[in-house]
Amino acid sequence: MDPQTASQVQVMGIDAGGTMTDTFFVRADGRFVVGKAQSNPQDESLAIFNSSQDALAHWERTVDDVYPEMVTCVYSGTAMLNRVVQRKGLDVGLICNKGFEHIHSMGRAIQSYLGYALEERIHLNTHRYDEPLVPLTRTRGVTERTDVQGQIVIALREADVRQATRELVEAGAQAIVICLLQSHKNGTSEQRARDVVKEELEKLGQALPVFASVDYYPARKESHRMNTTILEAYAAEPSRQTLQKVSDRFKKHGAKFDLRVMATHGGTISWKASELARTIVSGPIGGVIGSKLLGETLGYDNIACSDIGGTSFDMALITKGSFAIAADPDMARLVLSLPLVTMDSVGAGAGSFVRIDPYSGSIKLGPDSAGYRVGTCWPDSGLDTVSVSDCHVVLGYLNPDNFLGGAIKLDVERARQHIKVQIADPLGLSVEDAAAGVIELLDLQLREYLRANVAAKGYSPTDFICFSYGGAGPVHTYGYTEGLGFKDVIVPAWAAGFSAFGCACADFEYRYDKSVDLAVPQNGSPEDKRNAARAIQQGWSELAAKVIEEFKINGFEAKDVILRPGFRMQYMGQLNDLEIISPIHQAASEGDWDTMVETFEDTYSRVYASAARSPELGFSVTGVIMRGTVATQKPVLPEDPEGGKEPPASAKLGTRKFYRHKQWVDATLWKMEALKPGNEVFGPAIIESDATTFVVPTGFATTLDKHRLFHLRETQKKSLQ
């Protein structure tokens, strides 16, 4: 490859978190570099720019010469989710069926305790509902009724819709959502209501966006569908403005690519996509996609993904090379109708605040966090509550002069004073023991959380490789994996930008789902099977047209798109279905139906057990799925030449004391970038880069492989009390 061509930057991944904004650049030869900058909630585009500058400085290049040559860029962030949590969205108006005006504000019973820890759920006084996204003052009912079979029983009264539109505009609505009962079975009434609303808005001279649930999420479960369509109007529309800002800044520096966003189903979509609510949670998903690509490259089937940032610990399981997708997830205490990569999160990270519970006298971590302000150790933070990062600094884990490559100087003494007053003195401990206790408590919480999540799904950690990443991952890897018995624990050298790396790995992919109701007994007639296969095909064709339409907006033609159909199936009478990638691309015959059933039963055996199969109940298809993909440039893992077991002298930076198990030890300091494949580092050691710090305490060792992945192992086994 021509050196000039090889050095061209092709792909960029962005992870705009609550604390840090990471960027990840990939060249045509597969080499990559990671950048980091403080997040800027007021202007994300500026944080991305600063992070890009930080990354490209390693290659002695600038954004002005790199952005123009890039082919693709994928964004992931938490801005939309934060908008929902903080209730800072658009004033939405809602049109629903008369008599059902309270359906959104009532919510589902489960919403009363979502987001609470188990011990809090048992106290009835914590069962509360958040304020609805749309208040009753901006909700209007119209006369219409479609039954569960999709038959229109009472036709839509258009006069009601016109009246409702006028009243909602008067009430200050900035967008209008329409969600009628059973519209997923027959969308005629809802589509007509949408057209009438648009006509009326035109008469009033108002250019408000209109969202009909059937155009976006034609799925069963009214609350889920309504919440998701409201979310589209409430949070996704304003998020478009954020993404517009980011896109404009790229264009300003000569970029020609179209910005893409990480979607909840694990693919990426354009920021211009009509269904932007699918990107509500995108940051942590990037890490899961990156882990899957890494696993495929290295031949790992079972992976436990663990991501620690400043605000949360996110984990997901990849089993037999696939991750699970939840069809009805919850997010920000709302039940939704979105396909979402199954993940579990807990509000504990490196920025979590540390307090003493006034009732029990014990240490409480989080769930709130210092975010981009790090902790009291940063004099400019404006904080006076101790965070986990303060403990890291006091114990010597972090270099106070090299945080963010030295961009932020941390004050150890300031952190010590705050820990002394808030934690150490009330507990009668030394500052060091108090800080070490906080770290041990966090490690224990995360370890138990990880163990429980693996065990709850019927697995053992001994069957899994654990990937540890996120800005704070490598600081805690040893602590939350110790004693669990993972086959291997892997920390990528680019752990800090791993979610951004995952974004760069993701396909350009749109996905549409549609609810259907098909049931065929085990020994159903050939005619029944043919009709079911044809109904599935009809659903696929409808969704394929929507997928291709989205790609056309981005300048692609139908021939560029690879279509992948799927379906959701269960045994008749069961409550839960499984998502299945279809083994066939067209469905029309009895044989096609039998092939789909066979694939479902194989999947069911894998997820549960062969003995649990119950074909005698018959088979029910609850939904059809269509994914469309356009091939994109992916990062290639580096393959560096071996450098032997002994690290080069140039990689050694000296020593630094750190505190663990009630004593100060001299830890050898290593420069991460200077270590060679094959190098072995024994604890106590600290491996530093500008973006992250990898702690290897006494009793642990790590080896770097040719792909720049660190393999952490315990050298002295001890039982966990």
CA dist 588 and 708 (Å) reads 49
pLDDT of residue 176: 96
Secondary structure (3-state) at 435: helix
Facing residues of 315 across strands? 306, 344
| Torsion on CA atoms 22, 28, 32, 34, rounded to nearest 10 | -20
Torsion-angle region of 529 (φ positive above 0: left; ψ -120 to 50: alpha; else: beta): alpha
* pLDDT mean over 133-144: 95
Facing residues of 270 across strands? 260
- Reported as a single tens digit per residue, the pLDDT across 22-41 is 898 888 777 788 888 888 87
Cα–Cα nearest to 148, from 177, 178, 184: 184
The more confident residue out of 97 and 322 is 97
* pLDDT mean over 141-155: 94
CA dist 419 and 434 (Å) reads 8
pLDDT of residue 168: 96
How does DSSP classify residue 576? -
Give the Å distances, CA to CA, from 135 to 171, 267, 437, 462: 11, 33, 45, 50
Cβ–Cβ < 8 Å for 614, 640: no
pLDDT of residue 720: 42
- Residue position matching structure tokens 């540390």: 354
- Quote the distance between the C-alpha of residue 285 and its chain's center: 3
Q: How confident is the model at residue 120 (pLDDT cuts 50, 70, 90)?
A: low
* pTM over cut 0.75: yes
Longest alpha-carbon distance in the chain:
82
CA dist 178 and 161 (Å) reads 10
Facing residues of 669 across strands? 654, 686
Give the Å distances, CA to CA, from 395 to 289, 300, 350, 658, 672: 34, 35, 14, 5, 20
- Residue position matching structure tokens 């560096």: 640
Cβ–Cβ < 8 Å for 89, 133: yes
* pLDDT mean over 535-560: 90
Length of the chain: 721
Q: How confident is the model at residue 371 (pLDDT cuts 50, 70, 90)?
A: confident
* pLDDT mean over 579-593: 94
Q: What angle do CA 205, 209, 210 make, to 5 degrees?
A: 105
Q: H-helix or E-strand containing 451? A: helix 431-456
* pLDDT mean over 530-548: 95
- Residue position matching structure tokens 């030394």: 430
Residue 665 tokens read as 């030890």
pLDDT of residue 719: 42
Beta-sheet pairing, 562-571 with 578-581 = antiparallel
Percent of the chain with pLDDT over 90: 49
Secondary structure (3-state) at 484: coil
What DSSP letter does each residue of 50-66 carry, written as one string?
A: HHHHHHHGGGT--HHHH
- Residue position matching structure tokens 């939840």: 326
The more confident residue out of 617 and 326 is 617
**Model confidence at 570: pLDDT above 50:** yes
- Reported as a single tens digit per residue, the pLDDT across 650-666 is 999 999 999 998 999 99
**Model confidence at 112: pLDDT above 80:** no
Average pLDDT, the chain: 88
Query: With 0-12 CB in 10 A as exposed, 13-18 as middle and 19+ as buried, what is 576?
Result: exposed
What strand order describes the sheet that includes 663-671?
652-660, 663-671, 685-688, 693-696
Q: How confident is the model at residue 360 (pLDDT cuts 50, 70, 90)?
A: confident
CA dist 503 and 34 (Å) reads 13
- Quote the distance between the C-alpha of residue 300 and its chain's center: 22
30-34, 543-547, 565-569, 717-721: segment of lowest average pLDDT: 717-721
pLDDT of residue 311: 74
**Model confidence at 536: pLDDT above 90:** yes
Most trustworthy range by pLDDT among 319-333, 389-403, 487-501, 582-596: 582-596
Residue 82 tokens read as 């934060």
Facing residues of 465 across strands? 303, 488
CA dist 75 and 454 (Å) reads 29
Cα–Cα nearest to 467, from 266, 677, 292: 292
Facing residues of 712 across strands? 489, 702
117-121, 582-586, 689-693: segment of lowest average pLDDT: 117-121
pLDDT of residue 359: 83
Q: How confident is the model at residue 117 (pLDDT cuts 50, 70, 90)?
A: low
SS (H, E, C) 591-607: HHHHHHHHHHHHHHHHH
One-letter identity of residue 418 = H
CA dist 141 and 181 (Å) reads 11
* pLDDT mean over 425-454: 91
Give the Å distances, CA to CA, from 78 to 43, 283, 334, 631, 669: 13, 7, 16, 26, 34
| Torsion on CA atoms 131, 135, 139, 145, rounded to nearest 10 | 20
- Residue position matching structure tokens 């972090």: 398
Cβ–Cβ < 8 Å for 115, 235: no
* φ/ψ of residue 200, rounded to 5: -65, -40
Helix and strand tally (H, E) in the chain?
20, 35
* φ/ψ of residue 113, rounded to 5: -125, 5
pLDDT of residue 6: 55
- Residue position matching structure tokens 């505190």: 659
The more confident residue out of 239 and 419 is 419
State the alpha helices, DSSP H only, in 253-387.
Answer: 283-298
Q: Which residues of 305-319 are buried (b: 16+ CB within 10 A; e: fewer)?
A: bbbbbbbbbbbbbbb
Cβ–Cβ < 8 Å for 103, 139: no
Q: How confident is the model at residue 126 (pLDDT cuts 50, 70, 90)?
A: low
* pLDDT mean over 324-337: 81
The more confident residue out of 116 and 678 is 678
4-13, 361-370, 645-654: segment of lowest average pLDDT: 4-13
pLDDT of residue 127: 61
Give the Å distances, CA to CA, from 237 to 43, 275, 374: 17, 10, 30
What DSSP letter does each residue of 58-114 carry, written as one string?
A: GGT--HHHHGGG--EEEEEESHHHHHHHTT-S--EEEEEETT-TTHHHH--GGGGTT
Q: What angle do CA 284, 285, 291 make, to 5 degrees?
A: 100
Cα–Cα nearest to 480, from 450, 452, 510, 435: 450
pLDDT of residue 638: 78
pLDDT of residue 721: 37
- Reported as a single tens digit per residue, the pLDDT across 453-486 is 888 878 899 999 999 998 888 999 999 999 999 9
